[in-house]
């Protein structure tokens, strides 16, 4: 807490007139920039000015013997300003009018937009155009935009919990948000469990989990990062990012082998965790590869040059050896979207479109989950799905802000594809077809069979 001690010292010196004009200006600049310092400044100023304003009563109050315990204290004696006011009666009036007094209930922000939103455990109103004071907002589904009175716009992407502290300060408890901060609100600050992000005139995004592991990405302008383990402040400029905390996303657990389940209505559910089933994704450039044992399979497409290396595709295989595939009438693939922690939904279109391709070349079913890389991802070349090896079976859409639960992909072509299986294993390539408006757009995640809680990709047949 060395920093705040130094700051306190400056505030205290300012109160006693011990700062040079230069130092005073520097303090002012810091008060503008740093919300915490600003709060301390106002606190100290309040004490100082109250003591000054009530000087007449100080002697009386302090003339009494010290009290050890709290007592009921009478109110401050009234009005030393009566004399001044009376004197004013004789002053000539000048021409000056004032508007009506405005409401003074300290709203700090307004909820200006809410798309597909569901809220939980929020102690603030969640209707659009609600005025928000200090408090917590928990967004379970959807995308919501807040406009702070300072002018800062903050967009929350579910699942996200945010605490509003002041018009210049909020705390990201967990989740993802993007912020766009106009000039009067420079200095707008976002705390995460492990860092502090101070805007210096920007558009930027922040993600954090409740245990930290924060990521910051600057789309435009500049931000300053505080609270880093080395105690230093760090500046991030346009296009730069920073990741604090564990370097790799948590690995999934070794999955328990799943069961093929008979469901009501004649459906049979086959998860990727059953039999020879498998799921994986690969990323162009193979950073962090192989990704076959991650808790998520992640899919992303970008037409932007800077986003090229973030392209990700997924492949999933189901063991259908225990099913009479020739008798299948209907088929569905169920995917459970999970936040990937990569990218920002604000930067992808209102709806993202995905495609599911079936691997028609059965030799490709033998792909190795432990070893799969970009080049060995079955059924596609670097450019995309290879029409000689795959067939497009279905498309699905995910609205920005999430679909709010598992997605079911179904088509006649999918059932027909299952019919044609001969080796007891069916494989699908999943790609995103829509791009992004910025290379930091959202990467869509789906739980894999390694996910500790969510359900793995599942093939349902009837």
Partner 1 sequence: MDSMPPDSAENTEAYLRLLTQHDRWLATYVYSLVSRPADADDILQEVKVTMWKHFASFEAGSNFRAWARKIATNQILNYRRSEQRRPGSTLDDEFIEIVAAEIDRCADTLDRKADALKICLRKLPEAHRKIVVWRYYEDCGVEEIAAKSERTVEAVYRLLSRIRQVLNDCVSRQLSPAPVS
**CA dist., res. 22 & res. 10, Å (int):** 12
Number of residues that bind partner 1 (CB under 8 A): 78
Least CB distance to partner 1 at residue 155 (A)? 22
- According to DSSP, residue 31 is labeled H
| Residue 171 binding partner 1, by CB under 8 A | no
461, β-bridge pairs: 268, 331
Give the pairing type, strands 351-359 and 390-399: antiparallel
Pick from 98, 248, 305, 382 the residue near partner 1 by CB under 8 A: 98
Nearest one of 157, 136, 142, 281 to 215, comparing CA atoms: 157
**Structure tokens belonging to residue 285:** 């450039």
| Residue 18 binding partner 1, by CB under 8 A | yes
In the bound state with partner 1, the residue whose beta carbon lies nearer, of 91 and 247, is: 91
Least CB distance to partner 1 at residue 341 (A)? 32
| Residue 102 binding partner 1, by CB under 8 A | yes
Pick from 2, 6, 20, 104 the residue near partner 1 by CB under 8 A: 104
**CA dist., res. 439 & res. 343, Å (int):** 8
Q: Which residue has the tokens 């802000």?
A: 401
Q: Which residue has the tokens 């328990």?
A: 256
**CA dist., res. 444 & res. 220, Å (int):** 23
Q: Concatenated DSSP letters for 202-259?
A: EEEEEEEETTEEEEEEEEEEEEEEE--TTS--EEEETT-EEE-S-SSPPBPPPPPPP-
Residues 402-441, one symbol each (x = binds partner 1 by CB under 8 A, - = not), give ----------------------------------------
Least CB distance to partner 1 at residue 43 (A)? 6
Which of the residues 111 through 170 are near partner 1 (CB under 8 A)?
134, 149-150, 166-168
**CA dist., res. 314 & res. 292, Å (int):** 10
| Residue 329 binding partner 1, by CB under 8 A | no
In the bound state with partner 1, the residue whose beta carbon lies nearer, of 73 and 127, is: 73
In the bound state with partner 1, the residue whose beta carbon lies nearer, of 188 and 344, is: 188
**CA dist., res. 78 & res. 81, Å (int):** 9
Q: Are 123 and 130 in contact (CB under 8 A)?
A: no
Least CB distance to partner 1 at residue 267 (A)? 55
Pick from 95, 247, 324, 326 the residue near partner 1 by CB under 8 A: 95
In the bound state with partner 1, the residue whose beta carbon lies nearer, of 44 and 403, is: 44
- Considering only 14-22, 210-218, 253-261, 411-419, which stretch makes contact with partner 1 by CB under 8 A? 14-22
| Residue 16 binding partner 1, by CB under 8 A | yes
CA torsion sign, 445 to 448 to 451 to 456? positive
In the bound state with partner 1, the residue whose beta carbon lies nearer, of 106 and 308, is: 106
Q: What is the dihedral angle through the alpha carbons of 28, 32, 36, 42, rounded to the nearest 10 degrees?
A: 60
In the bound state with partner 1, the residue whose beta carbon lies nearer, of 59 and 127, is: 59
Least CB distance to partner 1 at residue 27 (A)? 9
| Residue 6 binding partner 1, by CB under 8 A | no
In the bound state with partner 1, the residue whose beta carbon lies nearer, of 25 and 238, is: 25
Which of the residues 35 through 94 are near partner 1 (CB under 8 A)?
38-39, 41-56, 58-59, 61-62, 64, 66-68, 70-71, 73, 75-76, 78-79, 81-82, 84-86, 88-89, 91, 93-94
- According to DSSP, residue 57 is labeled H
Angle at 18 between CA 15 and CA 21, to 5 degrees: 100
| Residue 100 binding partner 1, by CB under 8 A | yes
Q: Are 219 and 243 in contact (CB under 8 A)?
A: no
Least CB distance to partner 1 at residue 440 (A)? 29
Q: Are 352 and 340 in contact (CB under 8 A)?
A: no
Least CB distance to partner 1 at residue 156 (A)? 21
Pick from 159, 187, 385, 445 the residue near partner 1 by CB under 8 A: 187
Max intra-chain CA distance, the chain? 104
**What is the separation of C-alpha 308 from the centre of its chain, rounded to a whole number of angstroms?**
23
Least CB distance to partner 1 at residue 206 (A)? 22
Alpha helices in 19-133 (DSSP H): 21-33, 35-53, 55-63, 82-88
């Amino acid at each position: 807490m060395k920093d705040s001690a130094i700051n306190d010292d400056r505030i205290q010196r300012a109160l006693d007139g011990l700062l040079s004009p230069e130092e005073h200006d520097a303090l002012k600049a810091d008060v503008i920039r740093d919300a915490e310092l600003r709060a301390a400044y106002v606190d100290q100023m309040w004490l100082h000015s109250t003591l000054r304003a009530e000087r007449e009563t100080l002697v009386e109050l302090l003339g009494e013997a010290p009290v050890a315990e709290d007592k009921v204290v009478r109110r401050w004696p009234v009005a030393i300003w009566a004399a001044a006011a009376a004197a004013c009666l004789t002053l000539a009036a000048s021409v000056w009018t004032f508007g009506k007094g405005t409401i003074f209930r300290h709203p700090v922000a307004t909820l200006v937009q809410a798309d597909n939103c569901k809220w939980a455990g929020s102690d603030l109103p969640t209707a659009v155009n609600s005025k928000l004071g200090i408090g917590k907002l928990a967004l379970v589904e959807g995308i919501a935009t807040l406009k702070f009175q300072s002018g800062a716009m903050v967009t929350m992407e579910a699942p996200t919990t945010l605490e509003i502290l002041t018009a210049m300060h909020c705390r990201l408890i967990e989740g993802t948000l993007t912020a766009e901060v106009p000039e009067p609100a420079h200095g707008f600050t976002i705390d995460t469990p492990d860092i502090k992000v101070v805007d210096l005139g920007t558009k930027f995004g922040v993600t954090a989990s409740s245990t930290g592991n924060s990521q910051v990405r600057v789309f435009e302008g500049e931000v300053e990062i505080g609270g880093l383990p080395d105690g230093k402040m760090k500046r991030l400029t346009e296009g730069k990012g920073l990741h604090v905390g564990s370097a790799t996303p948590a690995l999934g657990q070794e999955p328990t082998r799943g069961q093929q389940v008979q469901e009501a209505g004649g459906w049979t559910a086959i998860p990727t965790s059953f039999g020879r089933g498998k799921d994986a994704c690969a990323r162009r450039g193979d950073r962090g590869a192989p990704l076959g044992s991650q808790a998520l399979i992640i899919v992303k497409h970008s037409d932007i040059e800077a986003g090229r290396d973030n392209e990700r595709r997924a492949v999933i295989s189901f063991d259908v050896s225990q099913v009479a595939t020739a008798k299948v009438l209907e088929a569905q693939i169920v995917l459970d979207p999970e936040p990937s922690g990569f990218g920002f939904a604000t930067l992808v279109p209102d709806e993202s479109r995905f495609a599911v391709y079936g691997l028609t070349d059965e030799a490709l079913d033998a792909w190795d989950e432990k070893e799969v890389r970009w080049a060995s991802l079955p059924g596609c070349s670097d450019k995309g799905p290879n029409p000689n090896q795959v067939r497009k079976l279905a498309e699905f859409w995910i609205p920005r802000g999430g679909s709010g639960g598992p997605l079911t992909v179904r088509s006649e072509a999918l059932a027909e594809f299952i019919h044609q299986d001969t080796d007891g294993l069916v494989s699908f390539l999943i790609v995103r077809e829509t791009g992004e408006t910025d290379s930091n757009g959202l990467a869509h995640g789906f739980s894999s069979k390694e996910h500790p809680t969510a359900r793995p990709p599942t093939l349902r047949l009837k």
